[in-house]
Amino acid sequence: MAKIDGIVEIQGTVKGVTFYRTKDGMLARAKGGISKKRMKTDPAFQRTRENGLEFGHNAKMGKLLRNSAVSLMQLAKDSRVSSRLSQTMSQIKNLDLVSDRGQRQVGIGIQTPDGQKILKGFDFNSKAIMGSVFRGELDLDPVTGVVVLPDFNPTFHLAAPTGTTHASFSMAVSRVDFELAEHKTRYSNKENVSVTAAKATYTLTPSEIPAGTGKFIYYFLIEFFQEMNGTQYPLKNNSYNVLTVLDVV
């Protein structure tokens, strides 16, 4: 890196040399970096190429899962959900013990019990964690997709944010094939409950179980509202809503 002396001050890039000001004065730096062709062909960068392929695969599989729950994610997510989900996909991909490095697949890793365990419990909104908000019992029938909240008492079983007057519960079941990059999703009814309501049992039933191949992924959504003059408004633009992966089968 060269330092410039003299009365002429140049800033910017001239013939591949970038001139810029620092606290130590004006500096010059020649354009560097590795060419795209070398990155693709040089054996020294084989590991880099393999990592790049798997990184892209993780991102693609994360997007597939987000697309399967896109209607729910519009109501509950944080700003880093994409990157967090890619990291989760990477952990699942690492459980593929049969493919070559650079070719490991989420679709193979998710077939393992450990892979399913990694995805189970994923919270799409890190500011509203299922385990911190929902304290009641929840029963899922993986055959029918029906979710039951037995003897649910909002006062004791729901950590509702300040200002909440009502909460809604709903679920969805997706059939996600990570190898074919396909998904189908079906949604349940929505139960709207006053946070001061008496104890009751609520049942969420999906419209049907989606056909196809792949894993069943069950989602559970909690929405919070504030009622004013007979109208319920989303609380704080949905920032407190919960969306979690209940199970992977």
pLDDT category at 47 given cuts 50, 70, 90 is confident
Mean pLDDT calculated for residue range 184-199: 98
Pairing of strands 25-30, 2-3: antiparallel
| pLDDT band of 149, cuts 50, 70, 90 | very high
Per-residue pLDDT at 49? 86
Residue 91: pLDDT above 70? Answer: yes
Nearest by Cα to 223 from 158, 173, 147: 158
**Cα-based angle 122, 243, 236 (whole degrees, multiple of 5):** 130
pLDDT tier at 211 (50, 70, 90 boundaries)? very high
152-176 residue pLDDT tens:
999 999 999 999 999 999 999 999 9
CATH assignment, 130-248: 2.60.40
Q: Which residues, 6 or more positions from 7, have their beta carbon under 8 angstroms from its beta carbon?
A: none
Q: Look at residues 191, 244, 242 and name the one whose alpha carbon lies nearest to residue 219.
A: 244
**What's the pTM?**
0.84
- With beta carbons less than 8 A apart as the criterion, state whether 129 and 146 touch: no
Report how far apart the first and last C-alpha atoms of the chain are (Å, whole number).
57
Spatial neighbors of 176 by CB under 8 A, at least 6 apart, are 64, 65, 68, 182, 183, 214, 215, 217
- Whether the per-residue pLDDT at 3 is higher than 60: the answer is no
Q: Is the pLDDT of residue 99 over 80?
A: yes
Please, what is the angle between helix 81-93 and helix 46-68, to 10°?
120
Taking 90 as the threshold, does the pLDDT of residue 16 lie above it?
no
Encode pLDDT of 24-46 as tens digits: 666 666 666 666 777 666 767 77
Q: Are 223 and 167 in contact (CB under 8 A)?
A: yes
Of the two residues 211 and 32, the one the predictor is more confident about is 211
* Domain extent listing, the chain: 1-32, 39-119, 130-248
The 10s digit of each residue's pLDDT in 77-86 is: 999 999 999 9
